[in-house]
Structure 1
Amino acid sequence: MVACGLDVEKSEFLSENDLVTGIRNRNYYQHEINNLLQAAQESVTYVFCDVNGLHETNNKFGHEAGDRMLIALASELAKSFGQDLSFRFGGDGFLAITLDERLDKVQAKSDQILSNLRKQCYHVSIGIKPAKDDHLNVSDLLYQADKAMRKSKE
C-alpha cells in the first residue's frame, strides 16, 4: 500500500525510529511504554543521558561531527540496554530502560558507556532512577532520571 508516495512500512519505520541514530524515538516510547513495562516483574530503571557540548561541536566542526557524537551514544545505549529499550528523546537527550535489572549492573553498564565515549573524546551526563514495579509512575520516573542527569552535569 502506498500513501502519498510513502509505503506504509516505510512510514511506520519513520514514525518509530530516529533517522540520525537508528534507535527508537520518543514517539515510539510514548506509544509503547505501557506495553514495554508490562514485561517487568519487579523493577524498572530509567537511564537518562545527555550529550555534553553538542551545540559547541556543531558550531565549531559542523553538524556531521555533532551527529557522530549522537550516533556514538545511541550505539552504546543500544549495545548495553537493547535496541528496543533505547530512545532518542530529541536534540541531545536519550533514554534507556531496564526491566528487572539490579541497580549495580545498570550502574556498571552506564560507567562502561561513559568510559567508551571518553575514549572517543565525547562527554555524556547520565542520570539513573530505579523504581519498584508497584510504585511506577512513568512521568515521575522520567522527571527524576532527567533531574539526576542534570545533577551529574554539574
Structure 2
Amino acid sequence: MFPGLAVPGIKNIIAIPVKEMDGRICALLAVFNTTKRHLDIALLKSVEFSFGMFFHNFSTYSTIREQGEKDVLTGLYNRNRYEADIPGLGRGFWKSLICIYMDADGLHELNNARGHEAGDRMLKSVAEQLKSRFGTKYSYRVGGDEFVVFVPEQEEKSVLRLCGEMAELLEKEGYHISYGAEYRKDVSSMGDMIKSAEKKMYKMKREYYEQGPHDRRKRPGRY
C-alpha cells in the first residue's frame, strides 16, 4: 500500500513484482483505489505467473525477430529488414532523402586468395565505417558484398564527403569500395532512387576494374 502517494484520483495502490522465468523482475502488476486489500493481493498473485509468461514469450519473440533482421557478420540490418523498411522510407516524412549504394570491391578475389576469414574482415571493416558515419538505423547489408544506406535530410555534398573519407581510410587497410549516392527532395519512387544510386556505384566499380592490376577486360566475368 502507498497511502502517501500524491497523485490526483488515486487513494491507494497494491502492487506485486512480476518475475521472468530466470527470476528477474520484468514488471509491476498493480490495482488502484481498492477497499479489499487481501482479496486483491490474492487476485494479483493468481495472474502473476501468466503475466510473467507473457513477458518471457514477448522477449523471446523480439530476440528471434531481431536475429531474423540482423546480419550476423556485420551487425547491420539484412535484406529482410531492408525490404520491409523501403515502403515506409518513401512516404515523405523528410524534406530530402539520400540513398547510398556501396560495394566492397574484390571480395571474391580476396576470398579465393586468402580465404573467407580475410573476406569477412573486409566486410566488417566496411560495416564499421558505415556505422561510424551513418549509424545503424537505415544501414543494410543487402548482398554478399553490397550495402545500402538511407540518409534523411542531409546535404549531398556532405554525404559524398563522408563516403570519400570512408574510401580513403579503407584504402589504407588495403580495401577498396565503390559507391553511388542519389539525392531526392521528392521521393516519388524508392525503386528509381535505389537504381540510380546503384548505377552510379557500378560506374565507379567499372572504372576501378579497368585500371592497372585490377583490369578485368581480358578476363571472364568482366563488368
TM-score computed with the length of structure 1 as normaliser: 0.90
* Residue from 11, 21, 30 that aligns with 2:83: 30
2:188 to 126, 136, 139: 136
Q: Which amino acid aligns with 2:145?
A: D
Secondary structure, aligned partner of 1:84: coil
Counterpart position of 1:104: 157
Unaligned ranges ≥5, structure 1: none
Q: Please give the per-residue CA displacement for 1:9-39, whole angstroms capped at 9, x wherever unaligned.
A: 3311121110111111111111123334557
Percent identical pairs in the alignment equals 35
Q: Which residue does 1:48 correspond to in 2?
A: 101
| Equivalent in the alignment of 1:145 | 197
Gaps of 5+ in 2: 1-55, 207-223
Q: Which has the higher helix share?
A: 1
Q: 1:78–1:85: 8 Å Cα contact kept in structure 2? A: no
Q: Separation in 2 of the partners of 1:99 and 1:148?
A: 19
Structure 1 position 135, deviation (Å): 3.6
Counterparts of 1:87 and 1:146 in 2: how far apart (Å)? 14
Contact 2:97 2:187 in 1 (8 A): no
SS state of the match for residue 46, structure 1?
Answer: strand
Find the aligned partners of 1:39 and 1:22 in 2 and give their Cα distance. 27
1:19 to 2:72 alignment? yes
Does residue 1:62 correspond to 2:127, yes or no?
no
- Normalised TM-score (structure 2): 0.63
| Residues 87-132 of structure 1: CA deviation (Å, up to 9, x unaligned) | 1001100011110100110011100110111111100101111111
Tell me which protein shows more strand as a share of its residues: 1
Which has the bigger relative contact order, CA under 8 A and spacing at least 6? 1
Instruction: Answer whether contact 2:100 2:148 (CA < 8 A) is retained.
Output: yes
Q: Does 1:126 align with 2:179?
A: yes
Q: CA RMSD in A?
A: 1.6
Paired residue total? 149
- Counterpart AA for 1:112: E
